[in-house]
Amino acid sequence: MTTPAVVCIGMAGSGKTTFMQRLNSYLHAHDMPPYIVNLDPAVLNVPFNANIDIRDSVNYKEVMKQYNLGPNGAIITSLNLFATKIDQVLGIVEQRAKSVSHVLIDTPGQIECFVWSASGAILLDALASAIPTVIAYIVDTPRTTSPATFMSNMLYACSILYKTKLPLVIVFNKTDVADASFATEWMTDFESFQAALKDLDDDENNPEGGSGYMNSLMNSMSLVLEEFYRHLDVVSVSAYTGAGMDDFLQAIDRKVEEFNTDYKAEMERIVREREKAKEAEKQRNLNRLMKDMGIKDHAKPMTKVEPAQTVSDAEEEDDEDEFADRFVNEEDAEGILDPDYEEQEVSDEEM
């Protein structure tokens, strides 16, 4: 089976990084060392050794200082700068993927900075075009016991699935604190969720109860999401104790098969359409330039005008430097983006 990439996405405080640490330790303990990529530029320390770390090529604090940005803006800009190196990073990942069991990717805790940014989409698309890619959406189970927060998490999971267009596994974390059986029951039995809403509405002392409109809305949304639940793999784990890691890896294997049968063909079609549109745009620009030059200089025959090489070069430079030109020039990039970035060599020792 082809080595899969597991992209861990989760709300701040959901235990995403701790889950990554536990999964890394588990794989090492079973002689299946993973390859780890850290895409969080703002994290101070990570409890695992990252083979590729965005902090080695982008200085988050310098980005904030030079561009006068807040935390979220600096994270997005750092990801944009890192996206300019995606070809180099992807080449390293593809090479190493042949000798490891999994490629684990940690993302920023500010989930919207990665999922909804242009650079996040570029990174995921490039990764999925090379190796099977699965999204692991980490949910904080103790904070999801309320029907309202549960429904909010499910809606967010639904939006991630349709935004990334990649197989999704919902991981209910922290089951050592709160059992996740209530969540799986709500996802499989609509009547049990209705009963929970009724109990919430009848409890006058509960600040989340008593809103008939909200209960009616959540009832309707649960019906809408019923079909969405059928295409999900749901696992319960504890990053603290290590429980549920076997179930998680089995779910990843199932999603890899789903990726190869359903998602891969669709992604290849999208890539072909993008390339076709790109070539059509190049041809339109070329025709427009030739027409303009022909109008301006009637003395020269059209056959002797050779703008193709210039246009092609310009297009290639635009493709390579699209994000770098938007956020940083060569003079401002000094101290932020390391042009000689190389992969960080890390031994595969068990944590």
Tell me the per-residue pLDDT of 83-111, one tens digit each, with 9 for 90 and over: 998 889 989 998 998 899 999 999 998 88
Most confident of 17-21, 301-305, 335-339: 17-21
Instruction: Give the number of other Cβ atoms within 10 Å of residue 351's Cβ.
Output: 13
pLDDT of residue 74 exceeding 90, the answer is yes
Measured in whole angstroms, the distance separating CA 260 from the mean position of its chain's CA atoms is 19
Beta-bridge partner residues of 200: none
Under the banding of pLDDT at 50, 70 and 90, the label for residue 326 is very low
pLDDT of residue 122 exceeding 50, the answer is yes
pLDDT in tens, 157-197: 989 998 988 999 999 999 999 999 999 899 888 788 888 88
6 close to 253: Cβ distance less than 8 angstroms: no
| pLDDT score at 168 | 93
Under the banding of pLDDT at 50, 70 and 90, the label for residue 344 is low
Q: Which among 210, 229, 205 has a CA at the least distance from the CA of 150?
A: 229
pTM of the model: 0.76
Residue with tokens 């999922």: 115
pLDDT of residue 229 exceeding 70, the answer is yes
Percentage of residues in the chain with pLDDT exceeding 90? 40
| pLDDT score at 212 | 67
252 close to 6: Cβ distance less than 8 angstroms: yes
CA-to-CA distance for 132 and 87, rounded, in angstroms?
A: 17
Q: Which long-range contacts (CB under 8 A, 24 or more apart) does 92-96 make?
A: 92/52, 92/343, 93/5, 93/35, 93/37, 93/52, 93/127, 93/130, 93/131, 94/130, 94/131, 96/35, 96/51
Under the banding of pLDDT at 50, 70 and 90, the label for residue 32 is very high
Where is average pLDDT lowest: 190-204, 243-257, 319-333? 319-333
Provide the edge-to-edge strand list for the sheet that holds 233-236.
52-53, 35-38, 103-106, 5-10, 133-140, 168-173, 233-236
Task: Work out the mean pLDDT of the chain and round it to a whole number.
Answer: 81
pLDDT in tens, 171-182: 999 999 999 999
Under the banding of pLDDT at 50, 70 and 90, the label for residue 65 is very high
pLDDT of residue 335 exceeding 80, the answer is no
Mean of the pLDDT values across residues 21-45? 93
Which tokens go with 174? 């922290």
β-strand pairing of 168-173 with 52-53 = unpaired
Beta-bridge partner residues of 168: 135
pLDDT of residue 25 exceeding 60, the answer is yes
Beta-bridge partner residues of 6: 104, 134
Q: Which among 54, 45, 61 has a CA at the least distance from the CA of 119?
A: 54
Non-local CB neighbours of 336 within 8 Å, separated by 6+ positions? 58, 59, 62, 63, 66, 81, 328
| pLDDT score at 208 | 55
Under the banding of pLDDT at 50, 70 and 90, the label for residue 299 is very low
| pLDDT score at 337 | 55
Please give the C-alpha separations between residue 38 and each of 17, 24, 207, 219, in angstroms, as whole numbers.
Answer: 10, 13, 39, 39
Please give the C-alpha separations between residue 138 and each of 35, 69, 171, 173, in angstroms, as whole numbers.
Answer: 20, 28, 5, 6
Non-local CB neighbours of 220 within 8 Å, separated by 6+ positions? none
pLDDT of residue 144 exceeding 70, the answer is yes
pLDDT of residue 78 exceeding 80, the answer is yes
* Secondary structure (3-state) at 324: helix
